[in-house]
Structure 1
Amino acid sequence: MGYNGYLIDLDGTMYNGSELIETARDFVSELERKGIPYVFLTNNATKSQEEAVQKLLDMGVKTSLENMYTSAMATASYIRENHRGASAYVIGTPSLKKILENAGITLTEKNADLVIMGLDPEVDYGKLKRAALLIGNGAGFIATNPDKRFPTEEGIIPGSGALQQVLIETTGVRPLIIGKPNASILDGAMGQLGLKKSEVALIGDNYDTDIMTGINGGVDTIHVNTGVSPVEEVMKKEASPTHTIDNLSEWSV
């Protein structure tokens, strides 16, 4: 079954860490050749839109800025609409902090209105302690994404969602999740894609984020067995993906 457009995950779908999934590059090349619109929809908030596109270009995947929508971009959009002018303690990469500053927040480590958490490769006890104390004192808790597992070329490592559990267990407060499977990131990506949900399929490896985004949001899904969620695990779920394939060489556009 063909679709008029695609939402495509990155980590575990296009690549694992620095290791490109060759069949995924060929798939995107075919979309480009046929002029079929697509948007990369990623929960990875460690990179800016430009950095995320550049990583693909460096891997030989032809794409551009209008084809990228990240959870960092979705979080920035939420901040602009709901918390412009607020102060925030941010656990995340320098790129995420810059994106959020540009969205209108003031970075601080004391008396913050918000704690915003993304994946931080340099997270330590001190950062988690500071965040827990701020949340305990009434700061709002926002997370870019809930991914507990993160695929790399070395294997599966802890994602932002796993580290969020430290703060959840400590404070008893669950964060507002912006990224997949939240509807807000899907709406942002669909707006960028410019198609109706009935015309689109969402491709991803992670059942809890990618596939559930489609199931919750009324978009057909294609699970690829190249990342976090093994197909054996996926097929045991109560709600199944629309399609399940081993890799993108099996899908014809």
Structure 2
Amino acid sequence: MRAKWKAFLIDLDGTLYHGSHRIPGADELIHYLQSKNIPYLFVTNNSSRTPQGVADHLQEMGIPAEPEHVCTSSQAAAFYIASQRPNCRVAVIGEEGLTHALEQAGLKITEERPEYVVQGIDRHFNYDKLTHAVRWIMEGAGYILTNPDLLLPSEDGLTPGAGTIAASIQAAAGIKPIVIGKPSEILMNFALEKLSLPSENVAVIGDNIHTDILAGARAGCGTILTLTGITTHANLVVHSSAAGVQPDYIYKDLEALLQGIRNSDMEL
């Protein structure tokens, strides 16, 4: 493992857990990073939870976590909008995590002449919300999408994600959104700013070549693929070819990854 890497950006679902079940070695990996004072952040496309909610979910599975270690697509979306137009008016199609992030960034949530429509996962999405979003966007509001995930894992199977909702809005309005979450580098750049480290000193750990690894590569980070979720040994070649990117390192599981970190001569 490369000595120049001094910190990690770590994906969650599929990398450290599946739903509410911890992947073997996830707790040991975080405990080790803490024991060696190796900086890390949890970076997730999930827009529904607040950082505290993400930390609580990890802690429930025995994975050490604090909200200051969490970077969500909602936080990155709020930061992006606030940097473009501070204190502006935004309409929200989303859940608690998105609303909280926008309010924390000083943005004004409204349904009257919004300057931006900010959309994430919304499990109460309906025709009225679709109608309002399309009209706002067609009237000139910017369209921000927290993450493009079409499907999400759940305890009883796959469910539609934020990208599925976005597909209906985009089809009706004829406008493509600015995508914040992986595979966009915007979320990764937000996390890098929190770490205060250049991208060449940071490696992204994730299970999905199409999102985690591609986003890391676009941001100029190192990339480490774990075969614990979406990308497996069986589909690795197909996924790599489709994404057009190769990870710097591939590990079959988190135990193998931790051994690789332990055996490395990283400059910590």
Per the normalisation by structure 2, the TM-score is 0.86
Q: Distance in 2 between matches of 1:198 and 1:108?
A: 40
Q: Cα offset for 1:231? A: 4.2
Compute the RMSD of aligned alpha carbons.
1.9
What is the distance in 1 between the residues matched to 2:28 and 2:205?
15
Q: State which of 247, 250, 253 in structure 1 corresponds to 2:256.
A: 250
Partner secondary structure for residue 91 of structure 2:
strand
Cα deviation, 1:94-115, whole Å, max 9, x if unaligned, reads 2311321232222222422211
SS of match in other structure, 1:35: coil
Structure 1 counterpart of 2:66, one-letter code: S
Match for residue 65 of structure 2? 63
Tell me how far 1:131 sits from its aligned partner.
Answer: 0.9
Q: Is the 8 A contact 1:231 1:244 kept in 2?
A: no
Letter aligned with residue 42 of structure 1: T
Matched residue SS, 1:235: helix
Contact 2:223 2:247 (C-alpha < 8 Å) held by counterparts: yes
Q: Deviations over 1:197-233 (max 9, x none)?
A: 3332211122222111112122121122222344443
Shift of 1:91: 0.7
Looking at structure 2, the residues matched to 225 and 153 of structure 1 have their Cα atoms a distance apart, in angstroms, of 20
Q: Does 1:102 align with 2:104?
A: yes
Which consecutive residues of structure 1, in runs of 5 or more, have no partner in the other structure?
none
> How far apart are the structure 2 equivalents of 1:74 and 1:61?
23
Q: Percent identity?
A: 36
Which deviates more, 34-43 or 235-244? 235-244
Asked whether 1:83 is paired with 2:85, we answer yes
Q: What 5-or-longer segments of structure 2 have no aligned partner?
A: 262-268
**2:139 maps to what in 1?**
137
Aligned partner of 2:92: which letter? V
Pair 231,175 (structure 1): closer, same or farther in 2 beyond 3 Å: farther
Separation in 2, partners of 1:231, 1:145: 26
User: Could you say which residue in structure 2 is the equivalent of 1:205?
Assistant: 207
> How far apart, CA to CA, are the structure 1 residues paired with 2:186 and 2:21?
29
Q: Does the 8 Å contact 2:51/2:68 carry over to 1?
A: no
Report the counterpart of residue 149 of structure 2 in structure 1.
147
Amino acid at match of 2:144: I
